[in-house]
Amino acid sequence: MEKIRRGITAAKGFRASGISCGIKEEGLDLALLYSDVQAAAAAVFTANKVKAAPVLISQQHIENGRIQAIVANSGMANCCTGEQGLKRAALMAELTAVKLNIAPESVLVASTGKIGSQLPMEKIGPGIKEAAANLSRDGGKDAARAIMTTDTRPKEAALEVELFGQKVTLGGMAKGAGMIHPKMATMLAFITTDALISPLLLKKALLHSVEQSFNMITVDGDMSTNDMVVILANGLAGEEIIFGSREFDLFQAALDELAIDLARQIPADGEGATKLLEIKVKGALTEEAARRFAREVVRYTEVKAAFYGADPNWGRIMAALGQTGQEIDPEKVDIYFEDQLMAKGGCKAPFDPIRIGTIMKQKEIKVEINLNLGQAKATAWGCDLSPEYVQINAHYRT
Amino acid sequence: MEKIRRGITAAKGFRASGISCGIKEEGLDLALLYSDVQAAAAAVFTANKVKAAPVLISQQHIENGRIQAIVANSGMANCCTGEQGLKRAALMAELTAVKLNIAPESVLVASTGKIGSQLPMEKIGPGIKEAAANLSRDGGKDAARAIMTTDTRPKEAALEVELFGQKVTLGGMAKGAGMIHPKMATMLAFITTDALISPLLLKKALLHSVEQSFNMITVDGDMSTNDMVVILANGLAGEEIIFGSREFDLFQAALDELAIDLARQIPADGEGATKLLEIKVKGALTEEAARRFAREVVRYTEVKAAFYGADPNWGRIMAALGQTGQEIDPEKVDIYFEDQLMAKGGCKAPFDPIRIGTIMKQKEIKVEINLNLGQAKATAWGCDLSPEYVQINAHYRT
């Protein structure tokens, strides 16, 4: 398995573009992704009961497991927009389908941005036309830029893996920044691969990867109305279909790695974030418990604020663990910040203040928590909470 | 029922004091409350699985439903302190008992402050002696000050109600500020009354009141290890015991009002808070659902940041409602900010920008959400999220 420096168009047969059509005041705001042939498709959508119109439309379109294009806009979420909103999301798919000469049901639609306003179709119509004309094998970076909202940088990843002696490529792009929390938050992630795989197995692989990656990141504990993670597999890498467990396991491992790579980039660029936090929980009774502990620690507001202030406040981590309601024996908990033992058996350990001072200034800090109860483990990623986060969210205008 | 301007010593037979013994760098840090006679007692403790030593000791002491004194310190939480911490919490009760000539089991212990350090008993011993010597009918305000941590002001309330033709008084004090979230967070609340009531009925009344008040406030979504709400009823108001439903209902109503008064003061003084938010949810299918909706809206980070920025972002309220997982029909939701209809049937309403501009600048903002599904309702209180919150929590040193 080898990382390569590309994104959503790394795999064979995928083209993309990102253009500006005026939905946002400045910057690219419309992305288009196209596969030369119909692709097997799987997706995970937001668990929020208030779902944006593009989510509802895309849920319908992906039902038969085949998709050929994705159109996505930033700047407006097309959420809480009623019947009109649904019509406009469907229209985005139709306009895209006409330009690409495919069926509307082969198009997924995604939107991200502020809630409650109707999409300006007079801008989106010409935008789709321009995006279709600009599709190219090098358009991945522009597409990644066009889905950004408060993100400060595009998020891309790609890797190659050998299956059946053939090179298979996976690539992806994501956007995140705010409203990011386990179970899909204002987060869009699109992954492509030229592997040949059935929609059913693709869905199985995606669910597994999402559980280890996008569902293990948090920026602010909020869950958005628009999230989706989509994977398209167009089969252009070769004629052998992934079916047996050996190749599936290799594909799964590659997809897990790609998904974690993309997912980590989201809190690393979290709104106002200055530090990436990696929270590894070991020794839990079950994997589900390990996941809940890790996610709660990385969500806990006072833990996040302490990391911003470079305060090695392991006590708040104890409080966060206790809040989950999961089985825990406080007197067995050991907490490490990088190589420094901060708490032993739930009590303060004699850590080296100079070494910990250095650790707390790192841009990326690893915390390991051993519950010493069982064998299960999980890792979550998040970021610190800075005054800048508040400024960004106080002034993201309605 | 009539409010009076007093606190924890408003009811007959209660004395209190607050002194400084050097646990904190400055300010009062040790509070003592004493009833002239043994009082019926009931309490609710933190649901966090990591419980501070004073919580564990107090849970034992209150088992028989009779308490005569409460000793509480601020500055250190005595949490994650192991065997030593338990010994020191028990010792606080013993030292208090000796000074007051009562049994150690008649004393409750509470602590609030930073986690992980051992209490300085060489300071607390003399402190308890001084606090006992200073007990007075006018000591309520000092006691309320002595339990403060990042609070900027003491929190007190009292009221009188007539039962059996006799005047019964209820008074209380609380501290809060950070780590405040439904199900008890770094929050201490002590309530006294001279009503005559059994420990069992007192517990019933307290649980009901806590459900409407302290469990409906949030500052940052974090749950602390040290919370407790305690009520002592010493019976000195008269010889009639509350037993029948008419008097119990009156007592309950008074306790509800007092608890809500104290609880609201906590987010109003939340760390860095500039606005108090009151979120009323109507038309829910069940009361439990109404409570979850109201609490989630007031916890939702991006909602809080929007109120700080005076941005009438009703869309984020929709997202928060959807996140609860409770039954909701987005197309039936109406949202009012004070008298302004912001969203009708889940879509934007044509609100008056000038009027809403004025509302968003208020120090206290009422939001009413009608789900239009059923008859149940609930109210939650919280505050906005300001950059100041982060500064406070980044620099509250370990």
Q: Is B177 helix (H, G, I), strand (E, B) or coil?
A: coil
**Does A93 share its domain with A193?**
yes
Q: Over the stretch B145-158, which tens digit does the pLDDT of each residue have?
A: 999 988 889 999 99
Question: Do both A26 and A140 map to the same domain?
Answer: yes
Determine contact: A245 vs chain B, CB below 8 A: no
The closest alpha carbon to A213, from A254, A243, A248, A244, belongs to A254
**B80/A347 Cβ within 8 A:** yes
8 Å CB contact of A115 and B301: no
- Whether the pLDDT of residue B397 is over 80: the answer is no
* SS3 category, B29: coil
Interface test with A, best of B186, B301, B373, B384 (most A CBs within 10 A): B301
Full-prediction pTM beyond 0.95? Answer: no
Give the CA distances from residue A141 to residues A33, A92, A197, in Å, rounded to whole numbers and listed in that order.
Answer: 11, 22, 26
Instruction: Say which amino acid occupies B118.
Output: Q
Question: Helices then strands (H, E): number in chain A?
Answer: 11, 15
In terms of DSSP bridges, do strands A14-19 and B334-337 run parallel, antiparallel, or are they unpaired? unpaired
- pLDDT band, residue B223 (cuts 50/70/90): low
Other CB atoms within 10 A of residue B232 CB: 29
Which of these ranges, A168-177, B126-135, B279-288, has the smallest mean pLDDT?
A168-177
- B261 and B371 co-located in one domain: no
What is the reported pLDDT for B177? 64
Transcribe A22-90 into DSSP letters: SSSSSS--EEEEEEEEEEEEEEEE---SS--HHHHHHHHHTTTSEEEEEEEEEEE---S-HHHHHHHHH
Contact of A223 with chain B, judged by CB distance below 8 Å, is answered with yes
Is the pLDDT reported for residue A182 higher than 50? no
Same domain for B47 and B20?
yes
pLDDT by residue (tens digit) across B32-58? 999 999 999 999 998 888 889 999 999
Residues of A in contact with B47 (CB under 8 A): 325
CA distance A380 to A303: 14
CATH number of residue B217's parent domain: 3.60.70.12
Specify the range with the lowest mean pLDDT, choosing from B23-27, B176-180, B191-195, B379-383: B176-180
Structure tokens at A29: 């705001």
Nearest CA in chain B to A179: B302
Residue B184's beta-bridge partner residues?
none
* Residues written for chain B: 398
Pick the range with the lowest mean pLDDT from A258-262, A318-322, B268-272, B315-319.
B268-272
The arithmetic mean of pLDDT across residues A316-344, rounded, is 92
Other residues' Cβ atoms within 10 Å of the Cβ of residue B333: 26
DSSP B365: E
Which residues touch B376 (CB under 8 Å, ≥6 apart)?
B283, B284, B285, B286, B287, B289, B290
pLDDT value of residue A129: 98
pLDDT given for residue B182 in this prediction: 40
ipTM: 0.71
Q: Reduced to 3 states, what is the DSSP secondary structure of residue B238?
A: coil
- Residue A192 is a catalytic residue: no
Residues in CB range of A40: below 8 A, 6 or more apart:
A65, A66, A197, A198, A199, A202, A232, A233, A234, A235
Do B218 and B129 have their domain in common?
yes
pLDDT score at A395: 67
Q: Binning pLDDT at 50, 70 and 90, where does residue A183 land?
A: very low
State residue B224's pLDDT score. 67
Q: Which of A268, A297, A319 is the last residue of a domain?
A: A268
Full residue range of the structural domain in which residue B49 is found? 2-268
Domain boundary among B246, B268, B290: B268
Query: Which residue of chain A comes nearest to B331, CA vs CA?
Result: A82
- The confidence score (pLDDT) of residue A155 equals 94
Q: From A53, which residue of chain B is nearest by alpha-carbon distance?
A: B330
CATH number at residue B355: 3.10.20.340
- What confidence score (pLDDT) does residue B394 get? 73
- Pair (A49, A128) in one structural domain: yes
CA distance A226 to chain B (A): 10
Which tokens go with A356? 């910990």
Identify the residue whose tokens are 């058996």.
A345
> Do residues B141 and B202 share a domain?
yes
- Per-residue confidence (pLDDT) for residue A396, from 0 to 100: 59
Chain A CB contacts of B330 below 8 Å: 49-51, 80
Are B206 and B340 members of one domain?
Answer: no
Q: pLDDT digit string (tens) for A24-53? A: 999 999 999 999 999 999 999 988 888 899
Q: Are residues A26 and A131 in the same domain?
A: yes
Averaged pLDDT of chain B: 91
Q: Mind giving me the DSSP string for B84-121? A: HHHHHHHHHHHHHHHHHTS-GGGEEEEEEEESS----H
Query: Which helix or strand (DSSP H or E) is residue A380 part of?
Result: strand A376-383
Q: Which of the pair, B365 or A316, is modelled with greater confidence?
A: B365
Count of structural domains within chain A: 2
Residues of B with catalytic function = 186
B247 with B290, same domain: the answer is no
- The predicted pLDDT at position A113 comes to 87
Last residue of a domain, one of A268, A289, A319: A268
- One domain, residues A218 and A290: no
Q: Is A313 helix (H, G, I), strand (E, B) or coil?
A: coil
In this structure, of B12-21, B111-120, B121-130, B266-275, the range with the lowest mean pLDDT score is B266-275
Q: Residue B149 in contact with residue B393, Cβ under 8 Å?
A: no
Among candidates B20, B21, B18, B224, which has minimal Cα distance to B120?
A: B21
Residue pLDDT, tens place only, B248-261: 999 999 999 999 99
Burial letters A357-379, b for 16+ CB under 10 A, else e: eebbeeeebbbbbbbebeebbbb
Residues B285 and B220 in one domain: no
Place of tokens 């109600």: B161
